[in-house]
A = this chain, B = another copy of it.
């Protein structure tokens, strides 16, 4: 039977140590895909530990996709993907991951094979452990306000309010929408009524609602370069997409006018990934474009407005829109945790009737428990405090990264852009290495990086680059999810790949 020495666990708990041992063996191939692991009881007896220890180790491995279980059969080692095809689904993830595993599954004889062959597609898999991930926009565990959230959740549960178990209106619980309206007033100077706000389980879900609301026959335009997931959602919903290049003031108005777009999906206050802020004049031009046709609308995706660092934020497009043309969107996945799926959109008044007529049959997709907890979190002032704390944290992160760059050999080879706001910046490096070579070397060292060129639609990007003048070899550095203590070493590893 599988045996590990648990005499020296390097300060780890028994289950953590055991989990790491098994994981290492799986990654190294010492435990092959399909291998049956010992039963919990037998394994515990063999290692002379409690079954709880085994259970915890197995649970962790299962959660990460290294092993899987079959009812009444036991635990088995999952098949891992080869390097470079890891199935990590991170928010604002530049990698348009596609599995290249062409399963040899036969539809007519799958029952036995399925767990073995397919388990590798549904969990996290890594061959090289990731030391630092500059692609993911996730939050760090330690930053989540567990204590307060937990307290408020308890309150919500204890009150057993009717609101907890009565179906809320499709737009969400009024108390939460009221708190959001208040927040938008305080933080963004927006005057909206709670009735305009529609709460949903993530912006991806809300994009789907917008398509159903505005019509699948519409042509949706988005920024080029831009965040690919947006276009993935539209395309998956069989909507036509057009990609409008940026100039120095945001989406090119000339190219927008030339396009056949009906709906424009943009982030005017902080474009991802360039960080570009669309100035007021261009904003008015965009609104003017929208007003030229009854069917035109602008989706304003204000995804990270809470974390802009420096300077007075520019008013939202929504707040200068006197024509009912802007659908404003924002999310708590950036400001709280990406695993809390709460986002919202603010509909112009002219669309509210239509929303309830066409989509009023839908149930709100966010659990009432979390809606009420978030309501308390916001109305109790905790959200504001949390954002302030996070702003400071990110400011320190940014300073730490910039300092690490400065003291590394990269300093003389790179130019940094747009580091004044948001949770990422651009870094153009002067090197003769190709982007793919740099990426490959970085991944071998456990550093995940993305380039600006990953964000262009319709390759070759050169055509668009002519307008946007962002040079090649520009890395997009997301720093929200890197543990501060890892930053100096991560940058020194990164510099080794480039210099």
Contact = CB atoms under 8 A, between A and B. Distances in A.
A150 B154 contact: yes
22 contacts: A63-B173, A65-B169, A69-B178, A71-B181, A71-B182, A105-B349, A105-B350, A108-B323, A118-B353, A122-B174, A146-B160, A149-B157, A150-B154, A153-B153, A201-B205, A202-B365, A212-B237, A229-B361, A233-B361, A237-B237, A341-B367, A367-B367
A264 interface: no
Interface in A119-178: 119, 121-124, 138-141, 144, 146, 149-150, 153-154, 157-158, 160, 162-171, 173-175, 177-178
A339 interface: yes
A193 B114 contact: yes
Given A98-B357, A193-B119, A232-B361, A141 B167 contact: no
> Which range holds the interface residue count of chain A?
35 or more
Interface string A328-349: 0000000001111110000011
Residue from A62, A110, A153, A195 having most chain B Cβ neighbours under 10 A: A195
A366 B169 contact: no
B352 A71 contact: no
B118 A352 contact: yes
Contacts of A233: 361-362
B99 A356 contact: yes
Contact of A368 (B69, B123, B175, B339): B339
Contacts of A102: 353
Contacts of A114: 193, 195-196, 349, 352
A296 to B, nearest CB: 12
A72 interface: yes
B107 A324 contact: yes
A401 interface: no
Given A146-B157, A212-B236, A195 B340 contact: no
A153 B370 CA distance: 12
Nearest to A177: B122
Contacts of A362: 89, 204, 233
A223 to B, nearest CB: 18
A91 interface: yes
Nearest to A139: B165
A105 to B, nearest CB: 6
B323 A107 contact: yes
A150 B157 contact: yes
Nearest to A191: B71
Given A124-B169, A138-B165, A167-B339, 13 more contacts: A63-B174, A71-B185, A89-B360, A91-B363, A107-B324, A108-B322, A118-B195, A153-B153, A168-B339, A338-B363, A342-B367, A365-B365, A369-B370
B194 A69 contact: yes
Contact of A62 (B139, B178, B340): B178
Interface string A51-82: 00000000100111100111110000000000
A113 interface: yes
Given A167-B339, A174-B63, A193-B119, A97 B367 contact: no
Contacts of A113: 349
B366 A167 contact: no
A96 interface: yes
A359 interface: yes
B174 A62 contact: yes
A293 interface: no
A173 B101 CA distance: 22
A216 interface: yes
Residue from A232, A341, A342 having most chain B Cβ neighbours under 10 A: A341
A361 B96 contact: yes
A359 B208 CA distance: 13
A338 B182 contact: no
B110 A349 contact: yes
A396 B261 CA distance: 59
A184 to B, nearest CB: 8
A115 interface: yes
Interface in A183-205: 184-185, 191-196, 201-202, 204-205
A121 B185 contact: no
A8 interface: no
A91 to B, nearest CB: 7
